């Protein structure tokens, strides 16, 4: 008899009080860590299954990419983040802001899953409800994507949720014996202890076959076995999902491509790309290397789309719509253009601006060819991940070098900058023009469309404001009296060109500085001057005029809604 009791204890039997307050033994229950682990494994499986279904749906074009609950929740999280916090995150973490978000989301889901496991130990039903609520939140996140999501896109979340709840039930069922069964088992045990029951437990009716002790041991083994199987299934689902449209495929697709030959840009006054760079020490080069080019987008993970899978549909208010594959795009005229790109979120003095030599197809003939209707005034551009922007139709057809770019600085477009195809439009901030991973262009009317950022209070039309930046000296630098201090920077006013740049020391007279040659009106110009340092703390400011003699705006204005303005300034301490 004592043996039986010991066995039972070893198997993890615990005593609980029922509603009436009577203490009675129950069958084996998972411990704290086992239950938490089970919760994590169950939620892991649910998400992995949902992810796999979503990936399959996305691959077969049945579902939207945002049918992935993880992606939708992540994107919703970015959307719900207040503007100031977003600006702060970009300013603080730079490009690590995505990693910070992923880690934060991961930790949150992990903790939530562990809690579901712990709750399931007491009440599998409440745990199932919690899991259902989690699935419902994912569902809301999916449905509120600005992309074209429909009810079908809820399928991955629902399948994941059903699988999760089913496995949760399987795992914790044994610990939720109803009162009657439990009483019957207890009675059997008592009989056995008195020596009245059959000696061999196998002689009990099938459903009552085990003694409580055996049942505990079995329950434990079964529980741990199921946790193992669930974990393995989650890992397998994840592996299959990863294998499908992987970034490895994208890399292979990129590697197999060659930068198309393109008609080079001609520059006035004998200026060439080889001689244009006049950066002083400590200053960024004229052409921003791809690795240093700023990256701004709403994509939590880089969209994986190969050149082979890519196509672009041009439709809407047009005479005849058109769909282009990557190969067909390459058959069109390719031009090489050096263009300075600017993000509307760039603060005065900020670094969300860069210049690259792009190769791509001019958009104007393509758009003229489909025959936009007379009342169309915009093009709604959508990327493979559902990001949207509205670009003014006029800016794409007024003769400027608006491109569908496939290469950047002599390299096939990097994935982070929009591989396989992105837009580049001189003179417009990126959020109203530079669609990366573009797959759809709908000729339309501004009045009928709501794009991602314009829905969030940013401007509908956003031409780039004339701006200038001091690169050297760096902030709060020091010099010795009598030194010749080099002051240098850049200035840009895409489509208008930079006419002149001036600096001012301590509120004195504005003085013109030396400018690098103008490569074109669509690129920035480097500028520099020297100044003989005098003892004291000094403030240097700069300002630029565009080619028409228009001075940049002095008033300090935040980026929202249509770009920052104000003069950049630096402090320098001269000893």
Ligand X SMILES: Nc1nc2c(c(=O)[nH]1)N[C@H]1C(S)=C(S)[C@@H](COP(=O)(O)O)O[C@H]1N2
CB of 346 vs Mo ion, minimal distance in Å: 8
User: Which tokens go with 115?
Assistant: 């809690």
Residues 6+ apart with CB under 8 A from 42: 113, 116, 117, 131, 164, 167, 168, 171, 230
**Minimum CB–partner distance for residue 430 and Mo ion (Å):** 4
Residue 298, binding choice from Mo ion, ligand X, none, Cβ under 5 to 8 Å by partner class: ligand X
Tell me: does residue 296 bind Mo ion (CB under 5 A). yes
Site string for ligand X, 378-397 (x = CB under 6 A): -----x---x----------
With CB under 6 A as the contact rule, the residue among 46, 53, 114, 343 that binds ligand X is 343
Q: Which of 107-115, 236-244, 293-301, 416-424 is the region at the interface with Mo ion (rule: CB under 5 A)? A: 293-301
145 or 528, CB closer to ligand X?
Answer: 145
Paired tokens of 491: 């200035």
Residue closer to Mo ion (CB basis): 33 or 88: 88
From CA 411, how far away is CA 497, in angstroms rounded?
27
The yes or no reply on residue 436 touching ligand X (CB under 6 A) is yes
Q: Which of 238, 298, 351, 565 touches ligand X (CB under 6 A)?
A: 298
CB of 489 to Mo ion, least distance (A): 21
Contact 423, 381 (CB under 8 A): yes
How far apart are alpha carbons 139 and 149 in whole angstroms?
11
Q: CA angle at residue 28 from 23 to 30, to 5 degrees?
A: 110
Shortest Å, Cβ 440 to Mo ion: 20
Q: Which of 297, 309, 502, 546 binds ligand X (CB under 6 A)?
A: 297
Q: Which of residues 165-194 bind ligand X (CB under 6 A)?
A: none
- Alpha-carbon distance 565 to 563, whole Å? 7
Cα 369 → chain centroid: 34
The tokens for 550 are 């228009």
SS3 of 346-405: CCCCCCCEEEEEEEEEEHHHHHHHHCECCCCCEEEEEECCCCEEEEEHHHHHCCCCCEEE
Taking CB under 5 A as the criterion, the residue among 71, 135, 343, 421 binding Mo ion is 343
Stretch that binds ligand X, among 38-46, 111-119, 293-301, 364-372 (CB under 6 A): 293-301
Exposed e or buried b for every residue in 91-105, given b needs 16+ CB within 10 A? eeeeeebbeebeeee
Q: Which of 28, 286, 419, 431 binds Mo ion (CB under 5 A)?
A: 431
- Residue 77 makes CB contacts below 8 A (sequence gap 6+) with 101, 105
| Residue 189 or 436 having the CB closest to Mo ion | 436
> Using alpha carbons only, how large is the chain's radius of gyration in Å?
32
Residue 172 backbone dihedrals phi, psi, to 5 degrees: -105, 5
Taking CB under 6 A as the criterion, which residues in 323-342 touch ligand X?
Answer: 341
Q: Which of 435, 454, 516, 562 binds ligand X (CB under 6 A)?
A: 435
Per CB under 6 A, 296 contacts ligand X: yes
293 binds ligand X (CB under 6 A): yes
Residue 322: contacted member of Mo ion, ligand X, none (CB under 5 to 8 Å, by partner type): none
Among positions 172, 223, 286, 294, the unique one binding ligand X when judged by CB under 6 A: 294
Partners of 538 in the β-ladder: 572
User: Is 456 an interacting residue with respect to ligand X (CB under 6 A)?
Assistant: no
Nearest-approach distance from CB 71 to ligand X, in angstroms: 13
* CB nearer to Mo ion: pick between 86 and 254: 86
Residues 396-425 that bind ligand X (CB under 6 A): 417
For helices 212-243 and 32-59, the axis angle rounded to 10 degrees is 30
Smallest separation (angstroms) from ligand X to the CB of 9: 59
Q: Is 358 in the site for ligand X (CB under 6 A)?
A: no
12's CB contacts (< 8 A; 6+ apart) are: 28, 29, 31, 216, 220
Three-state SS for 312? Answer: strand
Which pair of tokens denotes residue 30? 């998972």
310 binds, among Mo ion, ligand X, none (CB under 5 to 8 A by kind): none
Choose, by CB under 5 A, the member of 392, 430, 463, 473 that binds Mo ion. Answer: 430
Site of interaction with Mo ion (CB under 5 A): 296, 343-344, 430-431
Q: Which residues bind ligand X (CB under 6 A)?
A: 293-299, 341, 343, 383, 387, 417, 430-431, 434-437
């Amino acid at each position: 008899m004592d043996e039986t009791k010991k066995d039972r204890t070893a198997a993890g039997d615990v005593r609980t009080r029922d509603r009436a307050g009577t203490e009675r033994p129950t069958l084996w229950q998972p411990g704290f860590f086992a239950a938490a682990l089970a919760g994590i494994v169950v939620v892991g499986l649910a998400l992995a299954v949902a992810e796999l279904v979503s990936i399959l749906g996305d691959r077969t074009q049945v579902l939207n990419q945002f049918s992935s609950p993880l992606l939708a929740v992540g994107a919703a999280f970015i959307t719900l983040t207040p503007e100031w916090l977003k600006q702060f995150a970009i300013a603080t973490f730079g490009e690590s802001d995505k990693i910070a978000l992923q880690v934060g989301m991961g930790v949150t889901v992990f903790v939530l899953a562990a809690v579901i496991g712990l709750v399931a130990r007491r009440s599998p039903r409440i745990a199932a409800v919690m899991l259902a609520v989690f699935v419902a939140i994912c569902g809301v996140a999916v449905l509120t994507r600005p992309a074209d999501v429909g009810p079908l896109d809820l399928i991955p979340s629902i399948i994941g949720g059903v699988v999760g709840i089913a496995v949760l039930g399987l795992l914790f069922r044994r610990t939720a014996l109803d009162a009657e069964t439990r009483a019957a088992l207890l009675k059997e045990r008592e009989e056995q202890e008195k020596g009245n029951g059959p000696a061999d437990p196998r002689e009990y009716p099938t459903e009552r076959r085990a003694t409580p002790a055996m049942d505990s041991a079995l329950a434990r083994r079964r529980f741990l076995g199921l946790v193992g199987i669930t974990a393995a299934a989650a890992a397998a689902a994840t592996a299959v999902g990863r294998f499908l449209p992987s970034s490895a495929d994208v890399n292979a697709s990129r590697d197999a491509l060659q930068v198309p030959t393109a008609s080079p840009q001609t520059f006035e006054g004998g200026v060439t790309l080889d001689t244009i760079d006049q950066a002083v020490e400590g200053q960024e080069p004229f052409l921003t290397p791809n690795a240093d080019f700023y990256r701004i987008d709403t994509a939590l993970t880089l969209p994986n789309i190969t050149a082979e899978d890519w196509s672009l549909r041009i439709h809407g208010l047009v005479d005849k719509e058109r769909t282009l594959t990557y190969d067909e795009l390459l058959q069109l005229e390719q031009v090489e253009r050096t263009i300075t790109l600017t993000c509307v979120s760039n603060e005065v003095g900020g670094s969300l601006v860069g210049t690259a030599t792009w190769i791509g197809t001019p958009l104007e003939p393509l758009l003229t060819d489909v025959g936009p209707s007379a009342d169309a005034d915009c093009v709604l551009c959508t990327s493979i991940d559902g990001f949207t922007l509205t670009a003014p139709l006029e800016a794409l057809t007024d003769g400027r070098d608006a491109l569908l770019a496939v290469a950047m600085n002599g390299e096939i477009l990097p994935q982070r900058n929009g591989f396989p195809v992105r837009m580049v439009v001189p003179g417009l901030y990126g959020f109203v023009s530079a669609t990366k991973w573009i797959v759809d262009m709908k000729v339309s009317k501004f009045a009928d469309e709501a794009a991602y950022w314009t829905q969030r209070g940013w401007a509908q039309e956003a031409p780039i404001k004339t701006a200038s930046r001091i690169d050297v000296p760096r902030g709060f630098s020091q010099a010795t009296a009598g030194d010749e201090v080099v002051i240098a920077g850049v200035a840009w006013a895409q489509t208008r060109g930079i006419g002149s740049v001036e600096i001012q020391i301590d509120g004195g007279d504005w003085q013109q500085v030396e400018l690098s040659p103008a490569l074109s009106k669509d690129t920035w110009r480097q500028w520099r001057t020297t100044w003989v340092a005098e003892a004291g703390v000094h403030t240097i400011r700069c300002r630029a005029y565009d080619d028409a003699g228009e001075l940049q705006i002095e008033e300090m204005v935040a980026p929202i809604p249509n770009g920052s303005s104000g003069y950049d300034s630096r402090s320098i301490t001269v000893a």
